[in-house]
Structure 1
Amino acid sequence: MEVVGGVPFCIQTLVQAGLVEVPSQYIQPPESQPGSCRESSDSSIPIVDLLHIKTKHFGNVHEELSRACGEWGAFQVINHGVPKQLLDCMRSAGLSFFKEFPEDERDKYRCDLNSAASEGYGSKMLMKEDSVLDWRVYFDHHTLPLSRCNPMRWPDSHPHYRETVMEYSDHMKTLALKLLTLISESLGLPSSCIEEAVGEIFQNITVSFYPSCPQPELTLGLQAHSDMGAITLLIQDEVAGLQVLKDGQWLTVQPLSDAIVVLLGDQTEILSNGRYRSAVHKAITNAKNDRLSVATFHDPAKTTKTFPVAELINESSPPRYREVVYGDYVSSWYTKGPDGKRNIDGLLIHH
């Protein structure tokens, strides 16, 4: 078994071999371990029904979005236009890579361990050598713009794996742009304002696999953070594990098979001048079940400059964030580590 930085590359293989004790590299510090903060079984993150955008209740969608984005930074959407069959097929395709492909076949798609967010099969998110490892493995696909998309780099562990990812990518972009339009309108801005500020969409689709863990109280599948980009669309399998931080409590988002979880990213918080917030979230593990999620990230180009939208700035609401080049923001995020909202808080202007 290959060892990277003193620890086996694939925790999944150790679990399958009957691991009974978590390796030290995966043990979170006490303040980050599950249960260190208040937790609630309440799964009442907002649910927004997009069916209403075609009815006389269209205004209600703006109100619901305003509350969800302002108070939570996270919500679930239903009647979103993405076929449930495609959601199921994407989950099935992702699971096939981790559950049906032999380890030596998975290793052929190993990503560059020395480059953050490189495409392929990986296990480590941060560049820091001393960072605690997340209890997960993942496959990251570069899907948009098409100039950076090469499906031949993706596995063929499922009969229609590559076709499924491409179809899923198209539907996720359409939904992301629809949501950015609605978010703009809910802020009282022109429909295209946020979309134009984000610019050309750079999309990554990351399938994460969280093996069952013999000591889930010591580990995290994914440490607490807010996403660095504009908007993330996520689907889960039937195993709960995603948690969102609200008012000092971690709330578990109960999976809905036909819903898509929406997480606002830091760039949207900056553009809205803090009226809308990016969602701090994490993934927990459990002792009995493996878990799978698929996150689709929609980000600006690395050269894009992000700053609060001018229409939201006035005497009573001065700019809250400094301008930032997105590529610099990404470098900081991967180098320092996320640590909740550390990176966006570093851009705050103190009046």
Structure 2
Amino acid sequence: MEAAAISRVQTLVESGLSQIPSSYIQPPQHRPNPSPSASGGGIPVVDLSSAAASADLPRACREWGAFQVVGHGVPLRLLDAVRSSGLRFFESPQGERIRYACDPASPASEGYGSRMLARDDGVLDWRDYFDHHTLPESRRNPSRWPHFPPSYRDVMVEYSDRMKVLAQRLLRMISESLDLPSSYIEDAVGEVYQNITISYYSPCPQPDLALGLQAHSDMGAITLLIQDDVGGLEVLKDGRWVLAQPLSDAIIVILADQTEIITNGEYRSSQHRAVVNSKQARLSVATFYDPAKTRKIFPAPQLVTESSPLKYKEVLYGDYVSSWYSKGPEGKRNIDALKI
């Protein structure tokens, strides 16, 4: 069980505090100063059921590294069920939630937590979460997941399977868009390790000082995310933070670091963050599609040419994960360390 000394953000908010603890205050250069582009424009939307997807998807991968997909085939009733199940858990009494506490000494351990990184000296995110280990199926143990509402575990299993299918479809489209064999990125990733993390961002009395999630790029291959109608996910584009406008039927696709490596930088992983507000809680559900830790990741030889020389060193994925959790993400510094 997680030590009582580890505070949950929800618990802090329920205590009625008017100022956030210093451990949550971001340094001035990282604070969420609103910019004009953060409130308008939005990230691209790609309709996978449209013939235009074959052109829209690679453009979004190359220019943004993040986009929303519609026409994806995942039923809206399932997206709504996942969101409502997560909300039901986080709105339950603290005594019920704490039964599923994760191990604070083990980064990314399964369960209910608040602190993700191994470091004790970093600024904390204004967020609580529940992390589910969902694939391979040998890691999947629904008895470790909340038992309320009664459908929670069945919903998460169905959602896990649907997200695997969608991730595979997208990785095939990405491979084909670079004239690689359709299964190239899937084969490079190997046996997939999937985690599903439900994040809950409580209202923050000083939202101009804190972040729900600090700026980072994801460490794996691809991330699929859904959010509620509150909004708060921002993507960095040309030095400006751009809001991912909430769309109830859309799934946000975020390219992660190993895809950037495999594509030799043709497609860039997306740097993103979560901002908070003082009035409404926000919920999002991220599905991470990652290689096994024993997998070696390197650029596709077909994408290394005279005009596009080798850009990244080979990396053992387990080493990459260890570095990410021990040093912290801090933008894209982990993948930048692999650049040749």
TM over 0.5: yes
Residue 231 of structure 2 aligns to which amino acid in structure 1?
A
User: What corresponds to 2:267 in structure 1?
Assistant: 276
User: What corresponds to 1:13 in structure 2?
Assistant: 11
User: What corresponds to 1:138 in structure 2?
Assistant: 129
Residue 197 of structure 1 deviates from its aligned partner by 0.6
Regions of 4+ moved over 6 Å: none
Q: Does 1:211 align with 2:202?
A: yes
2:53 to 43, 50, 61: 61
Residue 73 of structure 1 aligns to which amino acid in structure 2?
G
Gaps of 5+ in 1: none
Residue 37 of structure 1 deviates from its aligned partner by 7.0
2 CA distance for matches of 1:37 and 1:89? 34
Identity of aligned residues (%): 63
Show the 5 A alignment for 1:62-101: 62-99=54-91, 101=92
Determine helix, strand or coil for the equivalent of 2:49: helix
2 CA distance for matches of 1:79 and 1:152? 33
Gaps of 5+ in 2: none
Residue 17 of structure 1 deviates from its aligned partner by 2.6
**How many pairs align?**
338
Residue 23 of structure 1 deviates from its aligned partner by 0.7
Residue 23 of structure 1 aligns to which amino acid in structure 2?
P
Deviations 1:29-50 (A, max 9, x none): 1111110877531233111101
Determine helix, strand or coil for the equivalent of 1:40: helix
Show the 5 A alignment for 1:1-351: 3-4=4-5, 9-35=7-33, 39-52=37-50, 57=51, 60-99=52-91, 101-349=92-340
Residue 26 of structure 2 aligns to which amino acid in structure 1?
Q
2 CA distance for matches of 1:45 and 1:102? 36
Would you say the 8 A contact 1:273–1:319 is kept in 2? yes
1 CA distance for matches of 2:123 and 2:111? 21
User: What is the TM-score with the length of structure 2 in the denominator?
Assistant: 0.97
2 CA distance for matches of 1:44 and 1:148? 36
1 CA distance for matches of 2:31 and 2:307? 40
Residue 72 of structure 2 aligns to which amino acid in structure 1?
H
User: What is the TM-score with the length of structure 1 in the denominator?
Assistant: 0.94
Would you say the 8 A contact 2:43–2:245 is kept in 1? no
1 CA distance for matches of 2:147 and 2:21? 32
Would you say the 8 A contact 1:216–1:284 is kept in 2? yes
What is the RMSD computed on CA atoms of the aligned residues? 1.2
2 CA distance for matches of 1:63 and 1:324? 31
